[in-house]
Structure 1
Amino acid sequence: MADARFEDGQERPLRLIARDSEDLKVVSALVQDAVLSAQDLSYSARQRRFSLLLNRFRWEDRAAAQSAGRAFERVRAVLDFADVTRVAHQGLDRRDPDTVLSLLAVEFSATDGSDSASPGRVLLTFAGDGAIALDVGCLDAMLADVTRPYAAPSRRAPEHGPD
């Protein structure tokens, strides 16, 4: 059996599960530069779930769009975390509905330093020094596209300057 490739997801909606930090690195790469508003964040303490409704840039389709000369695409997606016991944030104003958040990275660190299904912290890092920390009983994340792709309003792929 061969490993999955970006090209495998070109025409189908993504639905991925992350159960360790290596899985989450893949999810993080796919949600990099996703945009959302503060209203697109949801936490249910009773259900122990934290969800984000994202406008995700389709990194898996970038090369194909570029070579075909067609518009780059975005898609609405849900990034959901289960077994969330605590949520903390800094640098984000959840009361301002006009604030646009740009997700840069998603990382997991286990409390005991392992990479197993142990308690730990998920860190969501946003442009402009904003961050959300999720304390979790174990890493249980899912990324699922929920709409058809649409042309990216900017018509460009996100760019990152030198570090």
Structure 2
Amino acid sequence: MVTIKHGYTFLLTVILISNVLFTQNVFAQQVSSKYKHELKKFMKFIRNTEFKQYDTLKIYPYLSNKNLFMISLFGTGVYGLSNEEKTYLIKEIQSDTAKYYFNRHWMKNVQFVPQNQKDGWRLSKPIFLRNYLLCAFSFATPYDPDFASQWTYLYKKENGKWSRLLLMGKILGY
């Protein structure tokens, strides 16, 4: 009798753990799918606004936050970031050093530049806030990284369309 009871307890524990792991995996896939969808829309917006003057945009073939986002986190009013959002943003900027490889379908007329060349724009990974209604994004000129100019903006989405909200930081290397 004790063995059967122990067997049921073990079986219920396995089922419970499997259910929790499955639920977490499904949720992670949904978040990942949502991020990819919003990333694609945002990058198309960036190409059509920030880089519209370039017939062909030379960029590195990945998005990375490393050495970007040289910003001061302040702001007041409706779009000022809360302390929790500032903490999240700082964590994302500092801890995320992995490269996210670029998909050609995100932007039109893009030419990928090898990493060892100095003539490609460096683009950060967009950091979305407030359920994809705000986005922090940084980009740097395709010149010597020691003297590069860099901009970081906060963007907002209203009625499904992105627009530049405010300048969060700027470094001019000339």
Pairwise TM-score range, normalised by the shorter structure: under 0.3
Q: Which structure would you say has the larger Rg?
A: 2
Q: Name whichever structure is richer in strand by fraction.
A: 1
TM-score by length of 1: 0.25
Larger RCO of the pair (alpha carbons < 8 Å, separation 6+): 1
Q: Name whichever structure is richer in helix by fraction.
A: 2
TM-score by length of 2: 0.24
